[in-house]
Amino acid sequence: MAAGTVCLCVRIYALSSKIKRQGLIIPTVKGVESAHMNANAKRSSCVPSSSRKLLTGNEAAALGAVLCSVEVIAAYPITPQTTIVETLSEAIAKGELRAQFMEVESEHSALAACMGASAVGARAYTATSSQGLTLMHELLFWTAGARLPIVMVNVNRAVGAPWNIWADQLDSVAQRDTGWMQFYCETNQEVLDTTIQAYRISENVLLPSLVVMDAFYLSHTWEPVYVPEKRLVTQFLKQSYKRPILDVNRPCSFGALAGPDNYFIFRRSMHMAMEEALCLITQVGTEFERMFGRRYEPVEEYQLKDAHSVFVTAGSITGTARNVVDSLRVEGERVGLLKIRNLRPFPIERVRKALMGKKRCAVIDRNLSVGGGGVFYTEVKAALCGCKKVPKLMGVVAGLGGKDVKEHDLMKVYRTLERDTQGLLWLG
């Protein structure tokens, strides 16, 4: 993190500690928001049946799991995820959550434990980051292939070598073909809300979900978060599909050998479930808004209607880009923003519709597929392939290893984009 970001976190930490010691809840009034608060999450009046608390992204993730009444938690610590499972351990010790807490010897074992729990019908949860997620790689395929609706939070952190503990999306984007749905969060509010929605979606389409947030920018930074009542979350999740589970009274095989013909059927059914999930994500987002006052979709458009130039982002960098769009609009520039929330299922048609007819587009990636460029850039480029009236596309690799991407950096990107630059731009 940059020095300014660290100082901000220290100041917020002192305020948070005071608030927690005194048992206070932040009033639900319009006030000063974080620079990257989600526009859809901002509220100037009370959200029904919710309180407002100051939470880190990790605390929001843990609280989301508590609200969902998870039944089995498999825990293995890794920076910067550790405080998620620590917070859940404390919740169980205090009697705030009735769940089995399993301390395991590795991330591979954590996901294996969740698989067993999910297979017998328990709502399972774990969290990880970076090398921990890569160690799970084998079991990510098994979890999705077994159609187990596990929800896992991944705190984006750079993958070694060299050793680095700061934000970088490579750990999660490298798992895009495993069959897991992936949700990229902009704010701590979105982390909590997405955790709740992920269980609803996963338990209907029978695919696991990865809820993703940037290390430190979200995981260890405090933001005001609306916390819904648990009874309402329980009511919201009652709509989940009752799936078949392993039962000793009804023996069946699990993960057995499948020949070429049957294997094809399994994979095709997973693909169809992923396509179904794309529609369900929008539907669940609408129902979530009706109950809790906040709406989420696979993509979010901001100032796009008359825009000539567009930033495309995912994760916490979206808030910075939104501020830049606002500043450029004041200068009379016709610029907009497209936030992509889902890498899988990738919202191809929504991306096409949003970008068709625009003059130019910069896709900003906090990740790098070596030899290929930014992953969101290649996904957007593939989505637009063969379409008419597509914008001139520029990929921007920025913020690797936790390097700050500031507003003046994105202003430079915009000036470069205005010269109709195409291809790959390195912002480092």
Examine the pLDDT at 9 and tell me if it is beyond 90.
Answer: no
Examine the pLDDT at 29 and tell me if it is beyond 60.
Answer: no
- pLDDT tens for 347-379 read 999 999 999 999 999 999 999 999 999 999 999
The two beta strands, 181-184 and 342-344, are antiparallel
Domain 3-237 and domain 299-427 have a common topology: yes
Average pLDDT over residues 261-273: 95
Q: Say if residues 407 and 323 touch (Cβ distance below 8 Å).
A: yes
Average pLDDT over residues 175-185: 98
- pLDDT tens for 133-148 read 999 999 999 999 999 9
Angle, in degrees to the nearest 10, between helices 57-67 and 230-237: 60
Q: What is the structure's pLDDT at 246? A: 81
Q: What is the structure's pLDDT at 47? A: 61
Q: Say if residues 393 and 381 touch (Cβ distance below 8 Å).
A: yes
CATH number, domain 3-237: 3.40.50.970
Cβ burial of 407 (10 Å; 0-12, 13-18, 19+) is middle
- pLDDT tens for 210-231 read 999 999 999 999 999 999 999 9
CATH number, domain 299-427: 3.40.50.920
Examine the pLDDT at 286 and tell me if it is beyond 90.
Answer: yes
Examine the pLDDT at 276 and tell me if it is beyond 80.
Answer: yes
Which is more confident, 203 or 3? 203
Average pLDDT over residues 160-183: 97
Q: What is the structure's pLDDT at 19? A: 37
Average pLDDT over residues 412-423: 93
Examine the pLDDT at 254 and tell me if it is beyond 80.
Answer: no
- pLDDT tens for 294-323 read 999 999 999 999 999 999 999 999 999 999
Q: Which of 36-45, 115-124, 342-351, 367-376 has the lowest average pLDDT?
A: 36-45
Indicate if the alpha-carbon torsion angle 202, 203, 205, 208 is positive or negative.
positive
CA-based max dimension of the chain: 70
373-380, long-range: CB < 8 A, 24+ apart = 373/397, 373/424, 374/424, 375/169, 375/173, 375/176, 375/343, 376/173, 376/312, 376/314, 376/340, 376/343, 377/424, 379/343, 379/346, 380/312, 380/340, 380/351, 380/355
Tell me, letter by letter, the H, E, C secondary structure of the chain: CCHHHHHHHHHHHHHHHHHHHCCCCCCCCCCCCCCCCCCCCCCCCCCCCEEEEEECHHHHHHHHHHHCCCCEEEECCCCCCHHHHHHHHHHHHCCCCCCEEEECCCHHHHHHHHHHHHHCCCCEEEEECCHHHHHCHHHHHHHHHCCCCCEEEEEECCCCCCCCCCCCCHHHHCCCCCCCEEEECCCHHHHHHHHHHHHHHHHHHCCCEEEEEECCCCCCCCEEEEEECHHHHHHHHCCCCCCCCCECCECCCCCCCCCHHHHHHHHHHHHHHHHHHHHHHHHHHHHHHHHHCCCCCCEEEECCCCCCEEEEECCCHHHHHHHHHHHHHHCCCCEEEEEECEEECCCHHHHHHHHCCCCEEEEEECCCECCCECHHHHHHHHHHCCCCCCCEEEEEEECHHHCCCCHHHHHHHHHHHCCCCCEEEEEC
Examine the pLDDT at 2 and tell me if it is beyond 60.
Answer: no
The residues spanned by each domain of the chain are 3-237, 299-427
Mean pLDDT (the chain) is 89
- pLDDT tens for 324-338 read 999 999 999 999 999
Examine the pLDDT at 120 and tell me if it is beyond 70.
Answer: yes
Q: What is the structure's pLDDT at 48? A: 62
pLDDT-above-90 percentage for the chain = 82
Q: What is the structure's pLDDT at 393? A: 97
Which is more confident, 239 or 98? 98
Return the ∠ at Cα 255 (arms to 254 and 259), rounded to 5°. Answer: 125
pTM (two decimals): 0.90
Examine the pLDDT at 38 and tell me if it is beyond 90.
Answer: no
Confidence of residue 244 (pLDDT cuts 50, 70, 90): low
